[in-house]
Amino acid sequence: MTYTQAKELLEKYGQTQLLEYYDELTPEERNILLSDISKLDFSVLENLGTHGGKPLGKLSPADALSVEDIAKRRKEYEEEGLKAIREGKVAAVLLAGGQGTRLGSSLPKGMYNIGVTRPLTIFEQQMNNIFDVVKQAGCMFHIFIMTSAINDRATREYFKECNYFGYDPLKIHFYEQKLAPTCSKDGKIYLEEKHKVSLSPNGNGGWYASLVEAGYAQFLHENGIEWLNIYAVDNVLQRICDPVFVGATLKSGCACSGKVVQKTSPEERVGVLCKEDGLPAIVEYYEMPADIAALRDPDGKLTYRYGVILNYLFSVEKLDKIYGDKLPCHLALKAIPHIEGGVKVTPAQPCGYKFETLAVDIVRMMGSCLAFEVEREREFAPVKNKTGVDSVESARRLLELNGVKL
Ligand code: UTP
């Protein structure tokens, strides 16, 4: 793209501030900037002022398989799940494209060291969890790892350096999600450097679209992969392709399922799996009205008690049917480093928006979802922050509780 073409394009979208420092740049820097501009997705800016979607519909609690229900049919579910895994029908998708800004490390979140007396990264711990299933099933399943342009190289190199933790490298597939521009509250796209547009991963909602765009639709089809288990990188107790979960989902006839834990309090900051206008939905903690979150059943349990832990199983057949349907775009107000008045500023307070689509919105589109309750001490140890709630400290405690030597 030439300077004139870039200028014309930016004039159309009212974003000419991106060329403010063009005259000061070296030829190489100019090329970087023009290339960034040529790849920009301006359509996300249409979401400004919408605050991520429509008003909430009529909520009702989800029907769930409780821990007790599952215990009664455990063997049966497990056999069904192991059969599907052995037949190659199930693959895992690790969502590792996020930036982990709250952890404050510039490395991929999965490379964060959670060890105490020895190095143990989140990636390694999750691979150890996967090996539990591999041993049980007697085979390895395919694992897709979604990265972003920001952490793709470091992630791939790390896995290679670690010899893929003993996993078959031919069964590990990396692919990149897209980036979206960030902008100020008044909708002006930020520069991260004078020669670089500020970009951030466009949310975890695009995981399937990016997988297809990376050319894997045919691969899934050719390899008979019918179910995809997506999971977040930041839960070190994540059980991946859990045979009991897989078996229960298959038996339920639902198009997807989600692992849930009982919320500890109405205020806990997790999304709630419930129904909205009769359809499965995940309502984020900041969208849930406080009076509804506080409702209790006659037995004292929270009526909306099932918190999601970002571990879902999706039917590929159904994903293909809804492919192309537009996901809502959420605006996340964040502290975004950017160039202001010719210098780089790193604000302490949120100053602008990142644009993200969310995997939870796909659940809504699947039409049916099994809520599958798991014990939180066994399966939910999120690493979101450095200290305090959902932190490295709390995750370490939970890992030790589960017999992991740190
Ligand atoms: P979070 O919502 O916690 O975001 O991601 P994050 O980027 O990791 O962390 P913060 O908010 O900047 O501190 C939940 C899961 O979704 C993945 C993350 O890698 C994590 O596994 N994710 C998030 C993506 O894969 N892509 C994204 O664009 C955002």
pLDDT of residue 51: 53
Band of residue 332 on the pLDDT scale cut at 50, 70, 90: confident
Query: Residue 97 Cα, ligand 1 centroid: separation in angstroms?
Result: 6
Band of residue 52 on the pLDDT scale cut at 50, 70, 90: low
pLDDT greater at residue 387 or residue 148: 148
Domain-wise residue ranges, the chain: 26-54+71-253+310-358+383-401
Q: How far is CA 353 from the centre of its chain?
A: 18
| Residues 340 and 272: beta-carbon distance below 8 Å | no
pLDDT of residue 381: 96
Band of residue 137 on the pLDDT scale cut at 50, 70, 90: very high
CA–CA gap between residue 269 and residue 380 (Å, rounded): 13
Give the number of the atom of ligand 1 that is nearest the alpha carbon of residue 359.
16
Closest C-alpha to 22, from 42, 43, 37: 37
Q: What pLDDT, in 10s, does the model give residues 70-114?
A: 999 999 999 999 999 999 999 999 999 998 878 888 899 999 999
Band of residue 362 on the pLDDT scale cut at 50, 70, 90: very high
Q: What pLDDT, in 10s, does the model give residues 254-312?
A: 999 999 999 999 999 999 999 999 999 999 888 899 999 999 999 999 999 999 999 99
pLDDT of residue 53: 58
Lining ligand 1 with CB less than 6 A are 95-102, 109, 146, 177, 201-204, 232-234, 310, 356, 384
Q: What pLDDT, in 10s, does the model give residues 214-240?
A: 999 999 999 999 999 999 999 999 999
Phi, psi of 93, deg, nearest 5: -130, 110
Share of the chain above pLDDT 90, in %: 87
26-54+71-253+310-358+383-401 in CATH: which number?
Answer: 3.90.550.10
pLDDT for residue 392 is more than 80: yes
